Amino acid sequence: MPTPKGARPYGLLDMVGNVHEWTRSVHENYPYDPEDGREDLKASDTARRVVRGGCYDIRQVGSRCADRGAFGPLIKWPGTGFRVMVAPD
């Protein structure tokens, strides 16, 4: 696998390829519309949520930031995790 050529604008490196990142967004089809309920934090606990990025056990073609899928909260798969982040003030 090629090595990164440099940090992204926010100083980040190697953001893809460890695990699919489970997000808070409810899975809906494109085009993206933030008003269609996909960003509702009070959505059902059984709603399928978007997972993004690649994983250590998939083909290289799926190992990219734009890779997108969905899992329900009861799916247990070792290739899914989440990233903790803090938004600057």
Q: What is the pLDDT along the chain (89 residues), one digit of tens a residue?
A: 555 566 667 776 666 667 788 888 899 988 888 888 898 888 888 889 888 877 777 766 666 667 788 888 787 777 777 777 777 77
77 and 58 Cβ atoms separated by less than 8 Å: no
Domain count, the chain: 1
Domain-embedded: residue 83: no
81 and 23 Cβ atoms separated by less than 8 Å: no
Domain-embedded: residue 2: no
Surface-to-core class of residue 41, CB atoms within 10 Å of its CB (0-12 exposed, 13-18 middle, 19+ buried): exposed
What local confidence, expressed as pLDDT, does residue 26 receive?
92
Domain-embedded: residue 57: yes
Domain-embedded: residue 48: yes
pTM over 0.95: no
Structural domain of residue 61, as residue ranges? 13-74
Domain-embedded: residue 7: no
What local confidence, expressed as pLDDT, does residue 7 receive?
67
β-pair partners for 70: 50
Domain-embedded: residue 34: yes
